[in-house]
Amino acid sequence: MEYSKVPMRSSSMGEEDEHLEPSTPTGQYYSSSSLSMSILAVLELEIPIDDSQTMSLLENVFLPINPRFSSLLVTGENGEKHWKKVTVNLDDHVKVPLFEEGLPVECYDEYLQEYLSKIAMERLPQSRPLWEIYIFKYPTSNAAGTVVFKLHHALGDGYSLMGALFSCLQRSDNPSLPLAFPKIRSDDYMNKKKSVFETLSMFKNTITDFTWSLWKGMLEDHASPIRSAKEGVEFRPVSISTVTFSLDQIKEIKAKLGGTLNDVIVGVIFYGIRLYMETASKGAGNARSTALVLLNTREITTYQSVEEMGKSETKGPWGNNFGFIHVSIPNATNLDNSDPLEFVFEAKEMITKKKNSLVVYLTGKLIDLMSKLRGPEETSKYIRDVIWKSSMAISNLIGPVEKISLANHPVKSIYFMVVNVPQSLMVTMVSYMGKMKIAVGAEKELIDHTLFNACLDEAFERIFKSSIDSVPRD
């Protein structure tokens, strides 16, 4: 993705440069000619949409959240990227599609899915700030109306951008109260001091995981029912669909099997993937398949306000502060006779081991060194290559506990999706009001999303039933 070039001096900021803010290195990696990703945040509303407040909400609430929402990403004479403050024409950023009125909801389900695919594939115009909003006013099976925010990854990561979105929302029961979120990590986890044994274990895990991560960066996964292995996959049409699980049932599984909610849901996803692969192609369940699990690297226990993110001393700053770990998707030799709980146990073991290492930190340092030696464009090519050689990515966010509203429109459900990723499969998850919404971004010509979602449902059902009858395990 190319950006407008403007003259910039390398000396002290003059009158021309007073509105220029340097882009972060990570922001440059994800806005290059090799890698240019965006995030879709989807709000499913309970009542029909009245969009009369849209412009006021954007001007008075959304734009003030961060200067980048009113800035262009421009490239200087030496290739360095900066944010340049501009006047925003809101009409350019708000899209309201028109379809025939009075059709069955099943038709609008199909229209919305096609529209999301179209949004996902279109690149944000480089001539204006890198965000857009789409207002789908037609009823679907899941909502009376749907609002979609599209924000370029250069603006920030999922934590930052969803935090910005939540700043535009209010509690439905009492708008004067702040939104409440579950903790991302416990205070005990953040303050825990490691024993000598744990320190040595971390050292060992770091060496093992960092070496394996470098090896995985060179070793390409097999082509399979979830990986086309085609170059330019980020430009191919995608389908975006969702499944929903009960958080209470996930917590029941966690109570029986131990670990975290994230361990459980990753185990469910891995099991569902192998079910799908075996169903789509007999024997494909043993294909070498790796997932990139995205991790928030901020030292925080819950969401911070946008004001807190902007403070220099904050532990949860705005921007792109995440890393990823390679996790092998467990092989499946005989799914009909195997214990589905083993997928949860393996996910827990692998993720716990990798969290108890400094592999994300070292990988970040390696990328920083590469950027200094070879420049951000070459570093972006390396990151893109690592992503492409794996089979899929998994990302999760924590949503509000109570019901929320957007401009007095109660929100029934939330989900998000990272698009223009050089992979055939992307799975995201977000919790909200006792539900876990799983969103699946799948390469259209490769993956049958209806069958894939059915396999996720089947995986969850089998794991839940098996966990109820199991003996508790630490």
3-state SS track over the chain: CCCCECCCCCCCCCCCCCCEEECCHHHHHCECCCCECEEEEEEEECCCCCHHHHHHHHHHHHHHHCHHHHEEEEECCCCCEEEEECCCCHHHCEECCCCCCCCCHHHHHHHHHHHHHHHHHCCCCCCCCCEEEEEECCCCCCCCEEEEEEEEHHHCCHHHHHHHHHHCCEECCCCCCCCCCCCCCCHHHHHCCCCHHHHHHHHHHHHHHHHHHHHHHHCCCCCECCECCCCCHHHCCEEEEEEEEEHHHHHHHHHHHCCCHHHHHHHHHHHHHHHHHHHHCCCHHHCCCEEEEEEECCCCCCCCCHHHHCCCCCCCCCCCCEEEEEEECCCCCCCCCCCCHHHHHHHHHHHHHHHCCCHHHHHHHHHHHHHHHHCHHHHHHHHHHHHHHCCEEEEEEECCCCCEEECCEEEEEEEEEEECCCCCEEEEEEEECCEEEEEEEEECCCCCHHHHHHHHHHHHHHHHHHHHCCCCCC
Helix 196-218 × helix 376-389 angle, to 10°: 90
Contact 285, 264 (CB under 8 A): no
Residue range 15-71, pLDDT digits in tens:
444 457 778 777 888 888 888 999 999 999 999 999 999 999 999 999 998 889 999
Q: Ramachandran region of residue 454, left (φ > 0), alpha (ψ -120 to 50) or beta?
A: alpha
Query: Who's near 468: CB < 8 A, 6+ residues apart?
Result: 252, 256
20-171 architecture in CATH?
A: 2-Layer Sandwich (3.30)
Q: For 196-399+422-469, CATH number?
A: 3.30.559
Closest CA to 441 of 240, 291, 269: 240
Contact 398, 431 (CB under 8 A): yes
The first and second tokens of residue 65, run together, are 């959240």
Q: pLDDT at position 148, please?
A: 97
- How much is the pTM? 0.87
Is there a common fold for 20-171 and 196-399+422-469?
Answer: yes
- Residue 102: Cβ within 10 Å count: 6
In the chain, what are the domain boundaries?
20-171, 196-399+422-469
Q: Is the alpha carbon torsion for 346, 364, 422, 440 positive or negative?
A: positive
How far apart, in whole angstroms, are the C-alpha atoms of residue 297 and residue 306? 17
pLDDT tens, per residue, the chain with 474 residues? 333 333 333 333 334 444 577 787 778 888 888 889 999 999 999 999 999 999 999 999 999 988 899 999 988 777 778 899 999 999 999 999 999 999 999 999 999 999 999 999 999 998 999 999 999 999 999 999 999 999 998 887 767 777 778 888 889 988 888 777 776 655 554 455 566 667 777 877 788 877 877 777 778 999 999 999 999 999 999 999 999 999 999 999 999 998 889 899 999 999 999 999 999 998 888 899 999 887 765 555 555 556 666 666 665 565 555 577 888 999 876 787 789 999 999 999 888 887 777 877 788 788 888 888 888 888 889 889 999 999 999 988 888 888 999 999 999 999 999 999 999 999 999 999 999 999 999 999 999 999 999 999 999 999 999 998 876 555
Q: pLDDT at position 396, please?
A: 86
Question: Dihedral, CA atoms, 2, 4, 7, 11, nearest 10 degrees?
Answer: -60
